């Protein structure tokens, strides 16, 4: 009986972890560059229009801002693509 309870607890914990992880990843995967940009880049300052910088400059700026905004690789790519598309 006791052993079954322990096994049930472990199974439940694994189940909860899997559900939480899948929620987090679909949240990021589902977000567009526009959404990520508006959620992350205007916390500290207004952002200039994408036409203000060239594609290469956006890569450099976002490499730097990625550290400031604590972005993942995926978020960084999506935001940079969004800024570059406006050029
Ligand atoms: C935690 C605060 C913070 C976040 C979040 C942030 N920035 Fe910045 N940003 C700064 C600061 C501070 C500067 C001034 C330059 C420096 O000291 O790094 C700056 C400067 C800039 C500049 C001006 C560069 C120049 O040469 O004129 C641009 C463009 C910019 N950020 C874009 C972004 C974008 C795009 C994002 C989202 C990916 C972002 N920032 C997120 C703090 C932030």
pLDDT over threshold 90, residue 49: no
User: Which protein residue's CA is at the shortest distance from atom 26 of ligand 1?
Assistant: 61
41 Cβ closer than 6 Å to some ligand 1 atom: yes
Q: Read off the tokens for 10.
A: 């472990």
Residue 2: its pLDDT value, please? 76
pLDDT more than 70, % of the chain: 70
**Confidence at 19, pLDDT banded by 50, 70, 90:** low
pLDDT over threshold 80, residue 1: no
In our burial notation (b when 16+ CB lie closer than 10 A, e otherwise), range 54-74 reads eeeebeebbeebbeebebeee
pLDDT over threshold 70, residue 11: no
62 Cβ closer than 6 Å to some ligand 1 atom: yes
User: Which protein residue's CA is at the shortest distance from atom 2 of ligand 1?
Assistant: 44
């Amino acid at each position: 009986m006791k052993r079954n309870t322990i096994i049930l607890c472990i199974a439940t914990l694994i189940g909860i972890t899997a559900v939480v992880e899948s929620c987090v990843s679909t949240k990021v995967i589902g977000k567009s560059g526009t959404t990520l940009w508006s959620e992350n880049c205007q916390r500290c300052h207004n952002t200039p229009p994408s036409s203000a910088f060239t594609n290469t400059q956006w890569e450099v700026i976002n490499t730097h801002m990625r550290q400031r905004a604590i972005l993942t690789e995926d978020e960084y790519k999506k935001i940079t693509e969004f800024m570059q598309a406006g050029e």
